[in-house]
Each structure stands twice: as C-alpha cells, then as structure tokens.
Structure 1
Amino acid sequence: MDAIDRVRNYLKERNPHLEIIEFDQDTSTSYLAAQALGKEVGQIAKSILFKSKAGDYYLVVSAGDVRIDSKALKELVESRVRMANAEEVSAITGFPVGGVCPFALATPVPIYLDESLKRYDIVYAAAGTANTALPITYQELQRITGGIPCQVSLPPR
C-alpha cells in the first residue's frame, strides 16, 4: 500500500469527511504548499521528526512560518535532540521528507502539536506525498493523532 492510501485508510476509520487535496506541482515545503493553496505560510502544518541521543523519535507539528526552539524541545522530551535525516524520516514515518503526514505513521512515535497552529481555523498537513495537503482543524488534528499540545516554537520572523 502506498503512502497516500495508508493516509486515506487511516482517515476512513477516524474521520471520512476529511479530504486530501492532490496537486500537480511540488508542495514539499511550507512556502510551496502555501503558494499552491493560496494560503499563508503559517497555515501549513509542517511535521518534523526529531531523534534523541538515546535513539527515541518525536514528531513535532508546527505552523509553517515558525522555527522550533531546540531548548524548549529538549526540556519537553527531557533529552537533547537533533532533526532526523531523510533515511530516518522515511524509515520511521513511512513518508518522504516534504510529505510527512502527522498520522498513519509506519512506527508509532510521540506526536507534539505546537500551539503556533492554533492561530488558524484550518491548517494544511501533508498527506503522505510531496504534492498533497489535508485541510484540518487543530482540534481534529489533536483528536486523530493523540498529539500532545505544546509550545516549542519561536515566534514567526
């Protein structure tokens, strides 16, 4: 089963009313996704995988226009972390960099939903490929991911 079908199946069980948008163009960055959707960069929910020194993984989902505060994340997970590399992202999430969906992961990992997303009624998460988007509310994202609300972002530039 390919990545987008895995996401569709996950949604069927949890909220079949959510619909994936597929594009002909690349939407692998917050900027490209915002351009394709005609939205603000902040409305793009970017999913970033982090790895601790002990080998634990954490997925942080934040607004597309913020940076993650490494000190705040270190305090949250009680360990120093680094961004996972492309091979780790693919192996752990089952999705390519630029298409990481915050659910239907290949390997269950703790999911943290940064409160920077709450500025918007609807945010757009990748849906398994570098040319998909899924419009969703913060509350629904929290419900279907089991994500833990947190504040680990620096203010937008």
Structure 2
Amino acid sequence: MASSRPEGFQRVSAALLARAHPHPPRWLEVSARSAQEAADALGVALGQIAKSVVFRRKLDDAAVLVIASGDKRVDERKLESLTGKLGRADADYVKARTGFSIGGVSPLGFAPEADGVPPRLFIDRELFRFDAIWAAAGHPNGVFLMSPDQLVALTGAPVVDVMQP
C-alpha cells in the first residue's frame, strides 16, 4: 500500500502522478543505496541507473545535483565550469536540501527547503546511451523507470558533459 511507504517515496509518487508519468515508482524488496545494488536488483546494466550526486556550491551554499549514469564518475572541474567552486555534501546537508537520504535522492519531489530554492539540476549526457533508465524514488528501496528524454521533461534540467573520461 503506497500510503504506508516512507514520506520521500510518497512525495516522488505524487510528483510523478502530477506530471502524468506513465511509470509509477516501484518498491524493491532489497535496499538499493548504491548504483550497483540498484542495477543488480533490477537486472539492468550499471549505466542504466540514474544516480544522484549532490554537491555544495561554495559561493552561496546552494545544492547542485547531477543525475549521472551509474557507471560514470562526475568530473568536478567540468561541473565547476558551470556552477562555480564546489564542496562535498555530507548526509545531513543532502537531507536538509533535498528531503531525501543518500541512496534515495530522486531527481524530483524535493522537500521544501528553508530558503525555498530547489537544487540546481544537471543531467549527464551519458544516460542517453540507454533507452530505459532507473532513478531513485525518494528512498533506497524505491526506483522509477523512464527514458532519458522523459527525465529531461520531468526535471527541465540541462543535459551536460561533466563526466570523467
């Protein structure tokens, strides 16, 4: 029953429903805190996992979220050319700025932050290697299916090249 699911999962479910996304979130019986765990649980390639990588912009303490292909690593210097200097985001910062715990950060359905500013989003162009990708749905056990184009439509985020070679 969806109402018995954690609040973050419910927020993502509501956000997907409001956007008429054709694929409701799926609850996994195993935790998928890492991209590898998610890929194993779903039986898909690691690159098909749209992992969320959160950074802390030094200029104004804003959250920067990259939705990255699970088999790639973010090149912080490339990302900084778009955002300015970045620092690491610890678990408390991620929870405070997104409303999600690490391992369940979704590209949508953020909790309202104290300053009312959602994270600045970027989408890794490497996700477009795949027809179908999976993202976290607000909890380490929650995921949802989409195409890379649907991810762009759902978030309005720009597609960028910020991955390491």
Would you say same fold, with TM above 0.5? Answer: yes
Q: Residue 6 in 1 paired to residue 11 in 2? A: yes
Report if the CA contact (8 A) 1:63-1:117 is conserved: yes
Report if the CA contact (8 A) 2:17-2:24 is conserved: no
**Deviations 1:88-108, CA, capped at 9 Å, x for gaps:** 101111011000001111241
Distance 2:127 2:109 in 1: 20
2:87: which partner in 1? Answer: 82
* Residue number among 26, 29, 35 corresponding to 1:21 in the alignment: 26
Matched position secondary structure for 2:13: helix
Contiguous gaps of at least 5 residues in structure 1: none
Report if the CA contact (8 A) 1:48-1:83 is conserved: no
Q: Which amino acid counterpart does residue 131 of structure 1 have in structure 2?
A: N
CA positional deviation for 1:59? 0.7
Q: Which amino acid counterpart does residue 128 of structure 2 have in structure 1?
A: K
CA positional deviation for 1:83? 2.7
Distance 2:77 2:21 in 1: 38
**Deviations 1:55-75, CA, capped at 9 Å, x for gaps:** 121110010010000110110
**Deviations 1:107-157, CA, capped at 9 Å, x for gaps:** 4121100101110001100000001111111111111111111110113xx
RMSD: 1.2
Q: Residue 152 in 1 paired to residue 162 in 2? A: yes
Report if the CA contact (8 A) 1:50-1:57 is conserved: yes
State which drifts further: 103-112 or 55-64: 103-112
Question: Normalising by structure 1, what TM-score?
Answer: 0.94
Q: Superposition pairs for residues 25-104 of structure 1, below 5 Å?
A: 25-54=30-59, 55-77=61-83, 79-104=84-109
2:136: which partner in 1? Answer: 126
Matched position secondary structure for 1:67: coil
Distance 1:5 1:143 in 2: 20
Q: Percent identity?
A: 34
Q: 1:124 to 1:81 in 2, by over 3 A?
A: same
Matched position secondary structure for 1:68: coil
Distance 2:137 2:88 in 1: 20
Q: Which amino acid counterpart does residue 56 of structure 1 have in structure 2?
A: A
Runs of 4+ in 1 over 3 A off after TM superposition: none
Q: Which amino acid counterpart does residue 54 of structure 2 have in structure 1?
A: L
Work out the number of aligned pairs and report it: 154
Report if the CA contact (8 A) 1:6-1:104 is conserved: yes
